[in-house]
Structure 1
Amino acid sequence: MTGAGVEAPVGVVGVRAAYPGDVAAVAEIQVRAWREGYPGVIPEAALAEMTAPEAVALWRDRWTEAVAAPPSPRHRLLVAVDEGVITGFAAHAPAGDPDQDPQTTGELLTLLVDPAHGRAGHGSRLLAATVDHLREDGCTTAVAWVFAADDVLRGFLSSAGWAPDGAHSKVDMGEPVAMVRLHTALV
């Protein structure tokens, strides 16, 4: 990882904290990853709305706020970098569910890799960096809500030792979409 405000030199592959100048790439990766990875996972109309050209500006605004004014020092946006190019990102924070202790449980909010850079270890590096930060913050457990039909992310997290903890939810995306919460021990 490189320090805040320092660009990763070309040739370096790794993960670092996101800078304000990264948010355009993060928003574009989010839209590309959702377009490619979420057909059949979330309703078509919701996916179209969340990946429309206008959506990129909304995501850019949200990620700008996450970088410039996070709600706490434990809210972080990380980016994967390869040869000076942002290839993916992950966001994490203290757990927000009422049955979780935010002092000891962190939440992986999102982890997305640009489809053009998939299967190159960027997701694994982002997950490892997220876990490292959560441990540094004193977390002993991590949770993540994933779409029940997202076999790719569930499979990825399962291969890293995450498992369902029994919590289920539905999110309204024009129709109810099932979610499942995964967890893992960080000790």
Structure 2
Amino acid sequence: MSSIQVRPATLRDAKAIAQIHTIAAQQAYQGIVPDEQLKSLSVEKRQAYWREAIEYCEPQVQVAVEDEKVIGFVGYDRSRDEKSRPTTGEIWAIYAAPSHWDKGVGLALWDAARDGLQEEGCTNVTAWVPLRNERAIRFHELAGFKREMSTAKTAVVGSVKIEEVRLKRAIAG
């Protein structure tokens, strides 16, 4: 039985969220984003971003906790895509500490985000994922998301262009 608990994030969680976001991104994007860019990721900048997100609930943030330690987080809200329906939600970010990859943290976070989006009246949910981030694509597909290949676009991350694809699924089911 898993001891992972998911709860709404508090301002006190912002530093742990920023640390997980930074280290998980550095590992997940190795070989996709240049090393010098990955090394320049700043916990401080991410902490400021997540403090603001938690304070203003944009996006809504939940954390996965094990033994009172934050081990992952999810940020979700309405879709930021232009022309999306008001009933479409979006996973803005979902990360687990690399030490907890493949241990059910992402699934617990996804379940919490799905419940939160359903409470908001959303019927569908999307997520933008870099095509070369095979771990993230696999996670979303295992969670029932399907690729919408016609949505493939190039995003600029720092000095690098990254091909992203939107994945989508119904909230129920």
Q: TM-score, normalised by structure 2?
A: 0.92
Equivalent residues, number: 169
Identify if the C-alpha distance between structure 1 residues 30 and 43 changes in structure 2 by more than 3 Å, giving closer, same or farther: same
Provide the residue aligned with 1:21 in structure 2. Answer: 12
* 1:144-159 to 2 correspondences below 5 Å: 144-159=127-142
| Deviating 4+ runs (over 4 angstroms) | none
Provide the residue aligned with 2:166 in structure 1. Answer: 181
Task: State the identity as a percent.
Answer: 28
In 1, distance between residues paired with 2:4 and 2:95? 16
Q: Is the 8 A contact 1:41 1:147 kept in 2?
A: no
> Of residues 37, 46, 67 in structure 1, which corresponds to 2:28?
37
The one-letter amino acid of 1:168's match is A
> Of residues 44, 56, 59 in structure 1, which corresponds to 2:43?
56
Q: Is the 8 A contact 2:88 2:125 kept in 1?
A: yes
In 2, distance between residues paired with 1:43 and 1:178? 15
Provide the residue aligned with 1:140 in structure 2. Answer: 123
- Secondary structure of 2:102's counterpart equals coil
Unaligned runs of 5+ in 2: none
Summarize deviations over 1:118-155 as a string: whole Å, max 9, x none. 22211100001101111111101000000110000100
- Secondary structure of 2:40's counterpart equals helix
In 1, distance between residues paired with 2:144 and 2:3? 28
- Secondary structure of 1:177's counterpart equals strand
> Of residues 127, 147, 154 in structure 2, which corresponds to 1:170?
154
Provide the residue aligned with 1:95 in structure 2. Answer: 79
The one-letter amino acid of 1:151's match is E
Q: Measure how far apart 1:164 and its partner are.
A: 1.0
Q: TM-score, normalised by structure 1?
A: 0.86
Measured on the aligned residues, the alpha-carbon RMSD in Å equals: 1.5
Provide the residue aligned with 1:83 in structure 2. Answer: 67
Unaligned runs of 5+ in 1: 1-10
